[in-house]
Structure 1
Amino acid sequence: MGAGELTLERERAAVPAERAADLASYPAGLTLDGLPGRDLTQAELEELVAGISADPERWQHLVGYDAEERVYVSLHRDAHVDVWLLCWTPENDTGWHDHDVSSGAVAVVAGELAENNLTLVGGSRETRVPAGKVFSFGGDHIHRLNGTADRSISVHAYSPPLWRMGQYAVSEAGVLRRISLSYADELRPVD
C-alpha cells in the first residue's frame, strides 16, 4: 500500500458514520434509569442510545415532523449526559457544526440520515446511515446531518452535556468560519 493509499485509508477510518454498527448488537444494559453518575465514554453513549431506541414507549408520543424547522425534544439532561429525540424530513439540515467538548452518539430509529464530513481534498463526503444503525464521535468531530427519507427519527446522546456548539460556514472563497451558539438553538445551515 502506497503513502497516498494509506492516507486515504486513515481518512476513511476517521468518518464515524462509516463505522455505524447494528443497533441489535448492543446489550440492553445502560438505561436512563441506571446512569453511572459520571461522564460517559463513546461506547457507553452508543449503548445508551441503542437502549432508548429500543424503548419507543419513552419517546413515540413526541414524534412530529416539520419541513421548515426540525422537530427535536430533550428526553433527559443531568450533569453528565443529555439525550435528544430528533425527527427529520429531507428539508431538515443541521449545517456544518461541532459539539464543542462533548462526545456524542446517534441511533437512527426510522428512515435514514446522511452524515457529511468536510474534507480538504475532496469537499464534502456523504455517508448514508439507515434505520437500525448507531455511530459515535468525539468532541473534535465536525459534521453535517440531514434526513434523507420522508420521515426519519434518531436518538442522540452527548457527554458531557451540550452547552455550546460551533456552527460553521464556508464562504464562496472557501474560507471557513465558526460561530458559537447555545445547545438550545436549532442547528441549520449558515448562509
Structure 2
Amino acid sequence: MSAPAFSPALSASPAAAVTAGPPAAELLTFALRTAADPDVVAALPLDPEGRTWIRLDGPGGSEAWLIGWPPGTGTGWHDHAESRGAFATARGRLTEHSLSVRLPSEGWQSLHLASGVDRSRQLGAGAGRAFGEHHVHEVLNESATEHAISVHAYYPPLPLIRRYSRSGPVLHLEDVERPADWQ
C-alpha cells in the first residue's frame, strides 16, 4: 500500500490557510470584473471637486473600494504596508508612478532613491495591475476634463497607509494613517 499523495492544502495549518488569502492575481481578476460591471460603476456618486468612494465586498476577505477621481486629482505617494493589491480603471484614464524597489518598512524618515527606480504607466478603461506588499506609488487622474473611476482590492485588509512626500530622488515619510482615518 502506497502512502497518500502529499497535498499542501492538507498539510498547511488552519491558521496559515486563513492568513494566506487571495493572491494578487485573484484581486486583479476581481477588480477587472467589477470595473466592467456598469451597475456597480453607476452606483458611485461623483463629486466634481473631491474623490468619492464606496466600500465593496472583495474576494476571500479582502478589502475593496470603488473610487471616483475628478479631473486633476491624485493620491500622493503612499504604500499599503503588508497588503498586496490590485486596481483596475472602469472609466477614464489613470496614471501610476511607482518605485521598482522594495523600501524598508521601518526605521527611516528619509531615503535617497537610486536612479532608474521610477516606473510610470497609463491605465485606461478596462486595464489594471496587481502589486505585492510594500508597493510604493501614486495614482493620478491627469485629465483636465474627464472623471475617472477605478476598483481597488487589498489583502489583508489595509492595516495602515504610509504617506510620503517626494523631492527629486528623496522620499520622506510624512504620515501614517490607520483604518479609522478613512472609514
TM-score by length of structure 2 reads 0.71
Counterpart of 2:154 in structure 1: which amino acid? Y
Q: Using the alignment, how far apart are the partners of 2:59 and 2:26 within structure 1?
A: 16
What do the CA deviations read for 1:132-176 (whole angstroms, capped 9, x no partner)? 101100112100001123211100111111121111123589352
Cα deviation, residue 125, structure 1: 4.0
Q: Does 1:151 align with 2:151?
A: no
- 5+ unaligned residues in a row in structure 1: which ranges? 1-35, 187-191
Counterpart of 1:55 in structure 2: which amino acid? D
What do the CA deviations read for 1:53-100 (whole angstroms, capped 9, x no partner)? 222223412241332x21111122698201100111232110100001
Q: Could you say which structure has the larger radius of gyration?
A: 2
Alignment RMSD (CA, Å): 2.7
Counterpart of 2:62 in structure 1: which amino acid? V
Q: Does 1:182 align with 2:164?
A: no
In structure 2, what is the equivalent of residue 106 of structure 1? 87
Give SS of 1:44's match: helix
Determine if contact 1:64/1:71 at 8 Å carries over to the other structure: yes
Q: Equivalent residues in 2 for 1:3-18 (5 A)?
A: none
Q: Does 1:115 align with 2:111?
A: no
- 5+ unaligned residues in a row in structure 2: which ranges? 1-16, 100-112
In structure 2, what is the equivalent of residue 139 of structure 1? 133
Taking structure 1 as reference, are residues 114 and 132 closer, same or farther at Cα in structure 2, changes over 3 Å only?
same
Which of 31, 34, 37 matches 1:55? 37
In structure 2, what is the equivalent of residue 161 of structure 1? 157
Determine if contact 1:89/1:148 at 8 Å carries over to the other structure: no
Q: Using the alignment, how far apart are the partners of 1:173 and 1:58 within structure 2?
A: 39
Cα deviation, residue 117, structure 1: 1.9
Q: Using the alignment, how far apart are the partners of 1:55 and 1:96 within structure 2?
A: 29
